[in-house]
Amino acid sequence: MLLATLALLTALRPVTPPHAPARADDVTVAVTVDSARREIHIKAGPYFLPDMGQMDHHAMDLGAAHSTPVYRFQWPVEGWFRGFRTAVVSADGRDLPKRLMHHMIVVNFSRRQALYPAAERLFGTGTETDDAMLPATIGVPMAPGMDLGFYIAWHNDTGADLDGVYLEMTLVYSPKNQNPRPVDVLPFYMDVNLTIGGSNVYDVPPGRSEKAWEFTQPVGGRLLGYGGHLHDYGVQVRLEDVTTGKVIARVNAEREPDGKVSGVSRSLPGVRGSGVRLKAGQRYRVVGVYDNPTGGTLKNGAMAHIAAIFAPDREARWPGIDESNPDYQRDLASLELLGVTEGEEHDHGGQDHNP
């Protein structure tokens, strides 16, 4: 029921695929509103997707996928974003494999993230992602004219070039007059190794290891649901209170006997309870744990983050955008580079990764 991959930052490392997808000026983005169904429909294309052959998940993590530029549009209605559906179709409307879309990230340029001076990542979806929907009792507050954008990393492994491919995206919303009023929630992202405008991957030494990042919580509130992302040999990502050492949230890897990660756990503490409280001004620590049995260091072999939906006590205290902030400028610059280079190293939009 929860949004998939709620907050992700872009990192670039050029690679050279054999062909490029359709140029930015070849692609059009059509936005329509179905107020009866409370849906916003977006159709983007056409794209040309050259065959890239089979590739394992780690290789795609390192950028072997066709990246598009960021396509911008304005959010058209007042209300709350509740969820999404996506499809990949041919020019004549036939369904194509959704796995062609390795990942897609939707960016809200009109709001920043809580912990990072970077544009909000409203949601993401990808190869393993199911369509996602929030209960009608909660939603992400949105206003007409909010500046949004999305980008896609395509990976065509069908064995043949595909021309005339379209992305169809349906964004479901609750209207401004909904009664009772939904609880406001916002994407909330915590990464052990984030560099804004850079990479969040890191090396994994042999054996068991931990990597951590500490932060001061800027606004009080409750985590209503959370998940995360780990690469192969990942064990868990946990959130700790620095003062007490208490673990207050934990995402565990689902591992094969050889240590390969097949999925991660999700928790919904706000469904039957009040959620996990975070206090403004409190110090917290997010910790990624790996157990590498290979005997050697895995170069750029790890990511570890928790992504959540967060209900702030006072949304007015959410950090605002400072356009002069160097990190904020780096984030925008990295987004502008998407589709200019032939590929990218990225953090994730796929979806066993987040709620």
CA nearest 225: which of 178, 258, 187? 187
In this predicted structure, what is the pLDDT of residue 244? Answer: 96
3-state class (DSSP) for residue 330 = helix
The rounded distance, in Å, linking the Cα atoms of 102 and 100 is 6
144 pLDDT more than 70: yes
Verify that 28 and 106 share a domain, yes or no. yes
- List, for residues 295-348, the tens digit of each pLDDT value: 999 999 999 999 999 999 988 899 999 999 999 999 999 999 988 754 444 443
Neighbour count for residue 160 (Cβ, 10 Å): 9
Q: With bands split at pLDDT 50, 70 and 90, how would you rate the model's confidence at 129?
A: low
In this structure, of 3-7, 134-138, 321-325, the range with the lowest mean pLDDT score is: 3-7
3-state class (DSSP) for residue 353 = coil
Arithmetic mean of pLDDT, 186-213: 95
Verify that 115 and 191 share a domain, yes or no. no
In this predicted structure, what is the pLDDT of residue 339? Answer: 81
241 pLDDT more than 60: yes
In a domain, 346, yes or no: no
φ, ψ for residue 168 (rounded to 5)? -115, 125
178 pLDDT more than 90: yes
Q: With bands split at pLDDT 50, 70 and 90, how would you rate the model's confidence at 272?
A: confident
Arithmetic mean of pLDDT, 108-113: 98
In this predicted structure, what is the pLDDT of residue 131? Answer: 87
Task: Give percent of the chain with pLDDT exceeding 70.
Answer: 84
In a domain, 281, yes or no: yes
276 pLDDT more than 80: yes
Q: Do the Cβ atoms of 51 and 65 come closer than 8 Å?
A: no
Verify that 64 and 132 share a domain, yes or no. yes
For residue 137, give the CATH number of its domain. Answer: 2.60.120
Verify that 157 and 29 share a domain, yes or no. yes
Print the domain residue range for 285.
185-313
CA nearest 293: which of 229, 237, 203, 232? 232
- List, for residues 50-94, the tens digit of each pLDDT value: 998 765 544 444 444 568 999 999 999 999 999 999 999 999 999
In a domain, 306, yes or no: yes
Verify that 174 and 102 share a domain, yes or no. yes
The mean of the pLDDT values for the chain is 87
